[in-house]
Amino acid sequence: MNSASHDTPVAVITGASSGIGEATSRRLVAEGYHVHAIARRHDRLEALAAATGCDIHVLDVTDSERLLRFAETVGRVDVLVNNAGLGRMDTSMAHGTLEDITRTIDTNVTALMVATMAFLPDMIDRRTGHIVSIGSMAGIYPLSSAIYGASKAAVHRFCTNLRIELGGTGVRVTEICPGRVATEFYDVAVTDPVQRAKSKDSGIKEVTADELADTINYALSVPAHVNINRIELQPTEQTYGGMSFDPITARMSDKP
């Protein structure tokens, strides 16, 4: 399946059909990577392939067995970008559902760990490779979404502990922790149309998916003896925990 030449770096990117994953796929192809783009939406992947020439794979990352089989067939992988993720943010824990919990954890935590586990052995054998995982400011600072925040906190601790496990192997680990990014995130995170519109209208200039892709590329492009452990980035008008400050009213507001 892997048609890349020996000198061409190979990247696998999950959640590649839109937002950060799509932008990162485009950026890494432009940087000379052979990209394997994974997502569930075939039409979006077809458009990405037509625009970039990347290899596409219609795959739900929560299907662990299929994900593991894919890893067995793809061949050498130099970079894994664990980007697939979602949030359920329009209800409190007391009013949540079992699906809110399982869908969030299966996508944000289990799939990320399975993908990492699948590609690590070969990276360790070759003593080179890079695992990049998209966390969140919500995984480090308090935010009014217990389920989503807990899932991203798991990503945060996974990355820090994995970094220790891989000491001396030559494999690098980077966690990217964004705040608000202009993507489709709130289309999935918030089910109520009125609340969704409010959540999407942050009133601030948000980080773009292309800017996130630039950040990921920076972490990948530093010399091999340098590991970018974690990058936190968010809009200038947003601060920790999703808080923003309105200088006109001199009031803080919580806009995750």
pLDDT digits (tens, 9 = 90+) for 99-128: 989 999 999 999 999 999 999 999 999 999
Confidence at residue 239, expressed as pLDDT on a 0 to 100 scale: 82
What digits encode the pLDDT tens for the residues 28-71? 999 999 999 999 999 999 999 999 999 999 999 999 999 999 99
Question: Taking a C-beta distance cutoff of 8 angstroms, is the pair 119, 71 a contact?
Answer: yes
Query: Each residue of 78-99: pLDDT tens digit?
Result: 999 999 998 765 567 888 889 9
pLDDT band (50, 70, 90) for residue 136: very high
Phi and psi based region of residue 129 (left: phi greater than 0; alpha: psi -120 to 50; beta: remaining): left
Position 153 confidence tier, pLDDT thresholds 50, 70, 90: very high
CATH architecture of 10-234+250-254: 3-Layer(aba) Sandwich (3.40)
Q: Identify which of 153, 60, 150 has the alpha carbon closest to the alpha carbon of residue 100.
A: 150
Q: What is the DSSP letter of 110?
A: I
* Residue-wise pLDDT tens digits, 210-256: 999 999 999 999 999 999 999 999 999 888 766 655 555 544 455 44
Candidate from 146-150, 164-168, 228-232, 236-240 with smallest mean pLDDT: 236-240
Tell me how far apart the alpha carbons of residues 145 and 183 are, in angstroms, rounded to a whole number. 18
Q: Which of 33, 141, 148, 186 is the catalytic position? A: 148
113's tokens: 């760990």
Active site residue 148: yes
Distance CA 32, CA 78 (A): 13
Tell me which range, 21-25, 89-93, 193-197, is most confidently predicted by mean pLDDT.
21-25
Tell me, what's the pLDDT at 142? 87
Under a CB-based contact definition with an 8 Å cutoff, are residues 234 and 207 in contact?
A: yes
pLDDT above 70 (res 169): yes
Q: How many other CB atoms are found less than 10 A from the CB of residue 109?
A: 18
Predicted pLDDT at 93: 81
* Ramachandran quadrant class, 241 (left: phi over 0; alpha: psi -120 to 50; beta: rest): left
Q: Say if residue 198 is exposed, middle or buried (CB neighbours under 10 Å; 0-12, 13-18, 19+).
A: middle
Backbone φ and ψ of 130, nearest 5°? -145, 125
SS3 at position 118: helix
**Count of other CB atoms within 10 angstroms of residue 189:** 20
The pLDDT, as a whole number, for residue 251 is 47
**Per-residue tokens: 217:** 């590329």
DSSP 11: E
Phi, psi of 104 (to 5 degrees): -70, -50
Distance CA 166, CA 173 (A): 8
What 3-state DSSP class applies to 13?
A: strand
